[in-house]
Chain A
């Protein structure tokens, strides 16, 4: 594998592999460019299979000359066949990629593993991020494990669980009086003034590479095959585009055969700039003010929105939006049929799958993967009051009376 450069996705201008994220010429986003021509498919596959049970088994596809050592590596989360969910939705074959099973319980551990390894390689002492919550958890934890100082910027109205699960790691937790887009603007400004590694600002080209590993794992866990369709939540649009990039790289190297799956993006109606652009047939996103319980997806000004739209279009997919009530129902549906308790973002994704199934968009023969990005314990308010307990005295009679069952004779 040869690392080449940072390359502008818009004008193709190239730059050295440093802490840089914007093209000086056109302001377009930079992405890591590789030369995979030296990779032999069979040898690469053996190397992956012999690799660690973390994202570093895919080191040949990540932006490092040699595999970094990291204190808290992410990845290799379960891909579970969800027959009961498929049956409920009238589908043939559904799999759930459960990325809640990461060190801080979301897919953000992947991107942070890569971003922090790069920050350390570049000599940074302080790491930082703008976060809707999951990234905050991950940056605080990985920085603690690596012994780096961290500053984590979040909207002040974040779910309590995400605040607590960030502060515990001893980070400098900055609660910003504003929404995520305000936090992001602040961090973009600060990244120009501070010599810090902001994982999703000046480290973004490296950070986003971590999301490709979701795609690699899905393909490897399906027995080196690609699914027919992938349903992915969309906030900034980075995850969905990078899963596709991962599949494209493996097609190029010959690790898998066939063609790119259909990509379906999932948003909450209260923050759906990408779904609105899709609906209107636009190739750009107009920013919105988020108002949804799916706070981890509440990015009103999505950086990779245009690329997510392009991906959905060229793979004959779509970008859909679901209501907050559908999000709550999605959480319940996944929990009741798979035993997986997901956060609101997963409710968005599951509800979108249900919507696609109901609309008849998914063929019976299709192999569908649902990407679940975070744990339900992070957004407990979404399910509070959604069921009743059976309250009893500690006697058989009380239980029988309350539960409406026969007391044991």
Chain B
């Protein structure tokens, strides 16, 4: 069981330049992010606050915004792709 996570350029400073990483043993988006927080110092402060995501952070599973699913409780399956992106683009 492994999920691929795509890291935006704005966070690569805390991931040692990694643009993509894999998280094993996670069954929800929240657990995927917890896995990343354990691995990368400083990542949690960048994108999370008060137990949730900061308001200008979007997370997608297979291209779908997790707010259309179950938020951080959204289940992930083997082979899924989780994408973290800034929310301020567009318009």
Q: How large is the interface on A (under 10, 10 to 19, 20 to 34, 35 or more residues)?
A: 35 or more
- CB 8 Å contact bits of A177-200 with B (1 = contact, 0 = none): 000111011011101100000101
Q: Given A27-B46, A189-B83, decide whether A200 and B89 contact each other with a Cβ distance below 8 A.
A: yes
In the complex, chain B residues whose CB is within 8 Å of the CB of A133 = none
A/B pair count, beta carbons within 8 Å: 90
Q: Which of A85-93, A234-242, A318-326, A348-356 contacts B (4 or more CB under 8 A)?
A: A234-242
Residue from A24, A25, A284, A303 within 8 A of B91 (CB atoms): A303
Q: Does B1 contact A (CB under 8 A)?
A: no
Residue from B9, B60, B86, B90 within 8 A of A236 (CB atoms): B90
In the complex, chain A residues whose CB is within 8 Å of the CB of B58 = 185, 301
- The closest CB in chain B to the CB of A300 belongs to B65
Q: Given A27-B10, A27-B47, decide whether A303 and B89 contact each other with a Cβ distance below 8 A.
A: yes
Q: Given A192-B8, A299-B90, A299-B91, decide whether A185 and B46 contact each other with a Cβ distance below 8 A.
A: no
Q: Given A26-B56, A27-B54, decide whether A181 and B89 contact each other with a Cβ distance below 8 A.
A: no
B83, A29: Cβ atoms closer than 8 Å: no
Q: A130-B90, A182-B63, A185-B58 are in contact. List 9 more A-B contacts (CB 8 A).
A: A24-B46, A27-B56, A27-B88, A185-B60, A185-B83, A187-B90, A189-B83, A236-B90, A304-B91
Q: Which residues of B contact A (CB under 8 A)?
A: 6, 8-10, 13, 19, 46-47, 54-58, 60, 63, 65, 67-68, 83, 85-91
Q: Which residues of A contact B (CB under 8 A)?
A: 10, 21-22, 24-29, 130, 180-182, 184-185, 187-189, 191-192, 198, 200-201, 204, 235-238, 284, 286-287, 289, 299, 301-304, 306
